[in-house]
Amino acid sequence: MLGNINRMTQLWPAPYHPDPIIHTQVIPGSKSLTNRAYVLAALADGPSTLVGALRSRDTDLMESALESMGVQFTRDGDAVTATPGALTGAEVDCGLAGTVMRFVPAVAAFASGPVLIDGDPQARSRPVSTILNALRDLGVHVDGDSLPFTVNGSGSALGGRVEIDASSSSQFVSALLLAGARFERGVQLVHTGGKLPSMPHIQMTVDMVRDAGVTVETGDNEWTVQPGPIAGRTWMIEPDLSNATPFLAAAAVTGGEVTVPFWPQETTQAGDAIRGILERMGCDVSLVPNGPAHALKVTGPEGGKLRGISLDMSDIGELTPTVAALAAHATTPSELTGIAHLRGHETDRLAALSAEINALGGQCDELDDGLRITPAPLHSGTWHSYADHRMATAGAIIGLTVEGVTVEDIGTTAKTLPGFEHMWSGMVGGAHG
């Protein structure tokens, strides 16, 4: 195993604050945008600069992976410049980052030499064979079908038409779209499986590839990336809206008011869907002018009395832990569906959420493709994170209104939001209502 990070598993007393929280929280840059911009920068024909890029375990792993393959990175305040070079063989640690384990193999196809990719023990059960088989079909020699595996790059690859079943993760589609222009024939990608999850992430990828000067044609479950140069450019990274959702949930469950500055008016981030979800559950939600940008302000219902919700979350699965925590507070039942693919995330999120909600006295039942959450009084106990950053933040939300909740391994939030626990404690400590 390469470079596994060993954390001491500690119990974090989740701050208890059932009274209304009034708070403004600045959120760092989007992981999804940052890691896509890094990949495009690594494959570009000149330097790129990322402004506002996230610094977290996932993005640091991506930067380290690309650096080990020959990309140079320099920092100047809030900006990082990536200067591409001839890609070489390397050993890569993907940690538990899906974007690294699935995007980097497509970059490694253009390295001159073998790229060995491994990660955390939990990562070895995450689906990855789809991208490896796709690369084989596109003319790349790959050894292995799961972590650890080796992409034997030869500096170039033929490309062409490839059919894949990406129903377990949209990241397989994004990986091929990001690298598609570097293949000699480009890539014609056809999805042959069931409903694609997380479509906003695919649209994000398409938009960014086009912004890098590449021609991308889209159809029904089909994408064609024309071969050609990928332009170096400046990428302005939006705040990570999914990382904002636990803080907005704090307003919802306490009947308080939380504001997140610099919320984009238009975005492809899945986290933007939290606006409509919170409204349907009984919150007041508004996008208000905030200097040269806008801020999102969420006001929870009096006493945090939320309504349950029936919701197809197939496009926004990453929000499930936050929405499940909200549903556990609601006064009526909720059904969250379209999320069978979450069984292959950092952990089996459906089983984990059900186990942890039920362990605290709740009633959460697994469905074939989701969860049914029925209101029940919650009590103190330990909320396990399963090395999953979004499970950990869900436990923090529960702990706001349930006294005596401890969250195991809160440090796993460093995957996408380093310092979460200090931000959360600062919100609660500065709250007034």
Q: CB burial class (10 A; 0-12, 13-18, 19+) of residue 363?
A: middle
What six digits make up the tokens of 219?
A: 């159809």
Query: How many degrees, rounded to 5, is the angle at CA 393 between CA 388 and CA 399?
Result: 130
Distances in Å between the Cα of 295 and the Cα atoms of 27, 54, 99, 262, 321 are 11, 19, 28, 5, 23
120: region left, alpha or beta (phi > 0 left; psi from -120 to 50 alpha): beta
**Would you say 137 and 402 are in contact if contact means Cβ atoms under 8 Å apart?**
no
318 belongs to the catalytic site = yes
Going by the annotation, the residues of the binding site for phosphoenolpyruvate are 31, 98, 126, 171, 349, 390, 415
Going by the annotation, the residues of the binding site are 31-32, 36, 98, 126, 169-171, 198, 318, 345, 349, 390, 415
Going by the annotation, the residues of the binding site for 3-phosphoshikimate are 31-32, 36, 169-171, 198, 318, 345
Q: Residue 100: CB partners within 8 Å, gap ≥ 6?
A: 35, 58, 61, 62, 65, 92, 94, 119
Options 257, 318, 346, 356, the catalytic residue? 318
Catalytic residues: 318
